[in-house]
Amino acid sequence: MTTEQPFTWSDRFLLGHNTIDTTHAEFVECVGALLNARDAEIPGALDAFIHHAEAHFQQENDWLSAPDFPGGGECHIEEHEKVLNSAYDVREVVAQGRFDVARAYAQALVDWFPGHADYMDSALATWLVKRSHNGRPLVFRRMEAA
Give the count of domains, the chain: 1
Angstrom distance (rounded) from CA 45 to CA 51: 10
pLDDT at 146: 56
pLDDT at 144: 66
In a domain, 140, yes or no: no
Cα–Cα distance list, 111 to 36, 61, 138, 140 (Å) = 15, 22, 25, 24
Identify the sign of the CA torsion 18, 128, 106, 80. positive
In a domain, 3, yes or no: no
In a domain, 139, yes or no: no
In a domain, 70, yes or no: yes
Per-residue pLDDT of the chain (146 residues; tens, 9 = 90+): 444 457 999 999 999 999 999 999 999 999 999 999 999 999 999 999 999 999 999 999 999 999 999 877 899 999 999 999 999 999 999 999 999 999 999 999 999 999 999 999 999 999 999 887 776 776 667 766 55
Q: What is the pTM of this model?
A: 0.89
Angstrom distance (rounded) from CA 142 to CA 13: 12
Helices within the chain (DSSP H only): 18-36, 42-64, 74-94, 99-115, 122-133
Amino acid of residue 8: T
CATH of the domain at 102: 1.20.120.50
Identify the sign of the CA torsion 12, 85, 47, 50. positive
Domain that holds residue 21: 11-133
pLDDT at 4: 46
pLDDT at 3: 41
pLDDT at 140: 67
In a domain, 2, yes or no: no
In a domain, 145, yes or no: no
